[in-house]
Homo-oligomer: A and B are copies of this chain.
Amino acid sequence: MNPPTPSSERYDRGAEILARIDGSDGQAVVDSLGDLGRYLVEFGFGDVYARPGLPLRDRELITVAMLAAMRAHESQLDFHLLAARRVGISVDELREVIINVVPYAGFPAAINAMIRLHDLEADLPA
């Protein structure tokens, strides 16, 4: 049994998407994670996010909602709140997504995400 060999087509496709949605240091974080980072790019972005059946905008809408509902760590919420802005989701729409979390996962999850959004807002791409 051999270790998985890098699939450069999948990696390149994922890295291109990562570059599109990321305004900061996403690739550097990926590089620091070794094979875990490679899988994130190949599978998370190259396989899943690259699928044509749903636009990036819809993918970021649901990703922000899931991360908020899961009460994800600060850096991961921040990454996708910024990514959402870069694929054209407005701050007001992000507020709506976060408010929509309340009936399903409660106020604590939504409040965490809203505070992250507010803290980021000054830095968000205009």
- Per a CB cutoff under 8 Å, which of B53, B65, B106 touches A96? B53
Q: Chain A interface residue count: which class? A: 35 or more
Residue of chain B at shortest CB distance from A44: B103
Number of copies: 6
Interface residues of A in 44-77 (CB under 8 A from B): 44, 46-54, 58-59, 61-63, 65-67, 69-73, 76
Say yes or no: is A19 at the interface (Cβ < 8 Å to chain B).
no
Find out whether the CB atom of A54 lies under 8 angstroms from the CB atom of B107.
no
Q: Does A111 contact B (CB under 8 A)?
A: yes
Residue of B nearest to A33 (CB): B114
* Interface status of A3 (Cβ within 8 A of chain B): yes
Given the contacts A44-B103, A62-B62, A62-B65, A51 and B111 also touching, CB distance less than 8 Å? no
Cβ contacts A to B, 13 pairs, < 8 Å: A35-B51, A35-B95, A43-B43, A43-B103, A49-B100, A54-B97, A58-B61, A58-B97, A61-B61, A62-B100, A63-B104, A102-B106, A105-B106
Where the two chains meet, the residues of A that have a C-beta atom closer than 8 Å to any C-beta of B are 1-5, 7, 9-10, 13, 32-36, 39-40, 43-44, 46-54, 58-59, 61-63, 65-67, 69-73, 76, 92-93, 95-108, 110-112, 114-115, 118
